[in-house]
């Protein structure tokens, strides 16, 4: 609680919109919601004033020139829509999954577009990516909450079909059908990739491995690593589409390179699009007490890097950016922020009824039947309120621009009665109703930071399971949102 007045905490406490700004010029990158997802790096509006969506410049890879359209003709006699005047293609954008396996989740807000020539390549690594417009006249569609779309194309043309959301992109050649009518695109064409390859682009990811919250297992289930028989990463195989840096305790299994290799090298840090900091023991984050490490992480994000931080990795966001989140320990009389060791990491964990605050996220969850009864498992930390922090600089004056963080998920501090009684609290008087932030994010110039109070995998050691929990699907939803482009003033 150090460093914030009680008045400021009350003034910013769980503000419903989470989007107050002091800059006269709006900064669209602060919202980076589902609509900011067009043409590879995203956009802050579904379409520009001229009717064309905006998209980001960036890296990529060559298109598959096989010439196989992957389309199947359908009966166009449906009464619910007019007859097609061209070759009308429909499909669903799916998230990454192992080749040959069933998809895990649809992707909403993805751009599906057809270009007459192969689009420019993208590159990996932290960089300032500003949104640009899709060329006028380019056929495009945006996937709905359930991932579905329709795209009408001129018959008989040879085109490049581009499907993209954030830093995830698939490019395939498409021979458009010669006859007007309705056609279905094969799911392979509209599935976002899990590795770099011909026509496929993914962000370069570094996983900071910890003792808890096995984020690598989620990556493995979505094709970024080989799965073992226990539904986790098959570490022995060495088949990983991401890099690993070890931040585990002295008695834990080791995976990847020493973490110092990453945090002591600005050049290595900047080679990644996303760094995932998994939960680990308090003592494992002693490196965050070093001002030079805090500065390197700030420079990484300022230059376009993205941080995803879970639970006890809280010092990674609290020490470089102390103003955005007010951490508390309501069960044990409070805590002291922005210090090491971080006694705002507390526990015990609790499962909480969860509410998404972002409308598009709510629609995406509802489309999968996940909104009703949504809960987050293994909340170990508690966020009591929010505050404004620096998110960039005004391009005209050079003055700092501040904003509140964006809250994605919130829920009550729903400790079990036995845990409340153990801490000397009465279950009958405990406030288990008021909602508090559980997942929050903010921009920092070209990059973004996200923190979650709960374990991404919803369990600690030994909690492996087949399939994906809703909060594991949320990891990918948020990773895509983190990597959308910036339609805002940024400092390059």
pLDDT tens per residue, range 348-379:
999 999 999 999 999 999 999 999 999 999 99
**pTM listed for this prediction:** 0.85
Residue 342 has a pLDDT of: 81
How far is it, in rounded angstroms, from Cα 104 to Cα 106? Answer: 7
4-17 per-position pLDDT tens digit: 433 333 333 232 23
Farthest-apart Cα atoms in the chain, separation: 74
The answer as to whether 452 is a domain residue is yes
- If one compares 460 and 357, the residue with the highest pLDDT of the two is 357
The answer as to whether 70 is a domain residue is yes
Residue 340 has a pLDDT of: 81
Q: Please check the confidence at residue 65 and state whether its pLDDT lies above 60.
A: no
Domain boundary among 183, 200, 217: 200
CB of 282 closer than 8 Å to CB of 427: no
Domain carrying residue 362: 6-30+203-482
Residue 109 has a pLDDT of: 94
CB of 235 closer than 8 Å to CB of 255: yes
CATH label of the domain that carries residue 344: 3.40.50.880
- Answer yes or no: do 338 and 248 share one domain: yes
The answer as to whether 104 is a domain residue is yes
Domain boundary among 155, 178, 200: 200
Supply the Cα-derived Rg of the chain in whole angstroms: 23
Q: Please check the confidence at residue 3 and state whether its pLDDT lies above 90.
A: no
Give phi and psi for 206, each to the nearest 5: -115, 125
Give phi and psi for 211, each to the nearest 5: -75, -25
Average pLDDT, the chain: 84
How far is it, in rounded angstroms, from Cα 446 to Cα 43? Answer: 14
Best CA proximity match to 376, nearest among 461, 456, 477: 456
Dihedral of alpha carbons 266, 269, 270, 275, sign: negative
Residue 462 has a pLDDT of: 52
101-141 per-position pLDDT tens digit: 999 999 999 999 999 999 988 999 999 988 878 888 999 99
- Answer yes or no: do 122 and 261 share one domain: no
The answer as to whether 43 is a domain residue is no
- Answer yes or no: do 433 and 459 share one domain: yes
Residue 90 has a pLDDT of: 97
The answer as to whether 39 is a domain residue is no
Structure tokens at 478: 């948020």
Give the residue-averaged pLDDT of 161-189. 96
- Answer yes or no: do 282 and 366 share one domain: yes
Q: 136-162: b or e for each residue (b if 16 or more CB lie within 10 Å)?
A: eebbbbbbbbbbbbebbbeeebebbbb
- Answer yes or no: do 475 and 352 share one domain: yes
Q: Are strands 140-142 and 111-115 parallel, antiparallel or unpaired?
A: antiparallel
How far is it, in rounded angstroms, from Cα 476 to Cα 467? Answer: 14
How far is it, in rounded angstroms, from Cα 301 to Cα 285? Answer: 19
How far is it, in rounded angstroms, from Cα 240 to Cα 124? Answer: 17
Measure CA of the first residue to CA of the last residue in the chain; give whole Å. Answer: 34
CATH label of the domain that carries residue 77: 2.60.40.1120
- Answer yes or no: do 160 and 268 share one domain: no
Best CA proximity match to 465, nearest among 214, 194, 279: 214
**Length of the chain measured in residues:** 492
- Answer yes or no: do 355 and 393 share one domain: yes
- In the chain, the number of structural domains is 2
Residue 1 has a pLDDT of: 40
- Across 57-117, the runs of DSSP E, i.e. the strands, are 71-74, 87-92, 111-115
Q: How confident is the model at residue 488 (pLDDT cuts 50, 70, 90)?
A: low
The answer as to whether 432 is a domain residue is yes
Give the residue-averaged pLDDT of 174-181. 96
How far is it, in rounded angstroms, from Cα 196 to Cα 192? Answer: 11
Concatenating the DSSP letter of every residue in 396-455 gives TT--EEEEPPEEEEEEE----HHHHHHTT--TTTS--SSEEEEEEEEEETTEEEEEESB-
Q: Mean pLDDT highest for which of 213-222, 247-256, 429-438, 456-465?
A: 429-438
- Answer yes or no: do 78 and 13 share one domain: no
- Answer yes or no: do 93 and 142 share one domain: yes
Angle 404-410-411 (CA atoms, 0-180°, nearest 5)?
145
Q: Please check the confidence at residue 60 and state whether its pLDDT lies above 90.
A: no
Domain boundary among 153, 177, 200: 200
The answer as to whether 185 is a domain residue is yes
Secondary structure element (H or E) that encloses residue 217, with its range: helix 215-221
- Answer yes or no: do 248 and 364 share one domain: yes
Residue 249 has a pLDDT of: 82
The answer as to whether 38 is a domain residue is no
- Answer yes or no: do 221 and 103 share one domain: no
Q: Omega before 486 cis (within 30°)?
A: no
- Answer yes or no: do 352 and 246 share one domain: yes
The upper half-sphere exposure of residue 484, i.e. CA atoms within 13 Å in the direction of its Cβ, equals: 31
């Amino acid at each position: 609680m150090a460093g914030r007045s009680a008045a400021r905490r009350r003034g910013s406490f769980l503000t419903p919109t989470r989007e107050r700004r002091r800059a006269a010029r709006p900064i669209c990158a602060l919202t980076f919601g589902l609509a900011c997802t067009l043409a590879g790096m995203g956009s802050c509006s579904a379409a520009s004033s001229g009717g064309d969506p905006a998209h980001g410049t960036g890296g990529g890879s060559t298109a598959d020139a096989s010439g196989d359209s992957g389309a199947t003709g359908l009966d166009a006699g449906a009464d619910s829509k007019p007859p097609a005047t061209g070759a009308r293609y429909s499909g669903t954008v799916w998230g990454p999954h192992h080749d040959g396996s069933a998809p895990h989740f649809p992707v909403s807000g993805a751009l599906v577009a057809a270009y007459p020539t192969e689009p420019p390549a993208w590159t990996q690594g932290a960089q300032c990516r500003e949104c640009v417009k899709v060329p006028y006249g380019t056929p495009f569609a945006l996937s709905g909450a359930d991932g579905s779309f329709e795209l009408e194309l001129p018959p008989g043309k040879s085109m490049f079909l581009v499907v993209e959301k954030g830093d995830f992109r698939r490019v395939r050649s498409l021979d458009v059908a010669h006859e007007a009518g309705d056609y279905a695109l094969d799911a392979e064409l509209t599935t976002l990739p899990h590795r770099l390859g011909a026509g496929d682009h993914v962000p370069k990811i570094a996983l900071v491995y910890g003792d808890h919250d096995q984020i690598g297992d989620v990556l493995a289930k979505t094709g970024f690593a080989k799965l073992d028989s226990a539904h986790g990463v098959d570490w022995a195989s060495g088949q990983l589409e991401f890099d690993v840096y070890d931040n585990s305790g002295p008695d834990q299994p080791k995976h990847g390179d020493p973490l110092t290799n990453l945090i002591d090298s600005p050049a290595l840090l900047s080679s990644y699009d996303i760094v995932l900091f998994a939960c680990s023991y308090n003592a494992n984050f002693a490196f965050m007490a070093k001002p030079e490490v805090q500065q390197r992480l700030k420079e990484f994000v300022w230059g376009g890097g993205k941080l995803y931080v879970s639970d006890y990795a809280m010092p990674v966001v609290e020490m470089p950016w102390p103003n955005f989140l007010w951490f508390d320990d309501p069960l044990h009389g409070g805590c002291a922020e922005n210090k090491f060791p971080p006694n705002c990491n507390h526990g015990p964990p609790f499962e909480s009824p969860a509410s998404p605050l972002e409308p598009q996220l709510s629609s995406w969850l509802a489309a999968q039947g996940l909104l009703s009864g949504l809960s987050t498992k293994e909340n170990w930390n508690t966020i009591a309120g929010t505050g404004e922090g620096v998110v960039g600089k005004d391009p005209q004056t050079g003055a700092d621009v501040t904003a509140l963080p964006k809250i994605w998920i919130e829920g009550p501090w729903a400790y079990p009665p036995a845990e409340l009684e153990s801490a000397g609290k009465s279950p009958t008087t405990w406030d288990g109703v008021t909602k508090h932030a559980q997942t929050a994010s903010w921009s920092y110039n070209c990059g973004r930071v996200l923190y979650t109070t709960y374990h991404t995998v919803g369990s600690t050691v030994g909690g492996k399971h087949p399939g994906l929990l809703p909060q594991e699907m949320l990891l990918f939803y948020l990773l895509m949102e983190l990597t959308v482009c910036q339609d805002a003033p940024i400092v390059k």
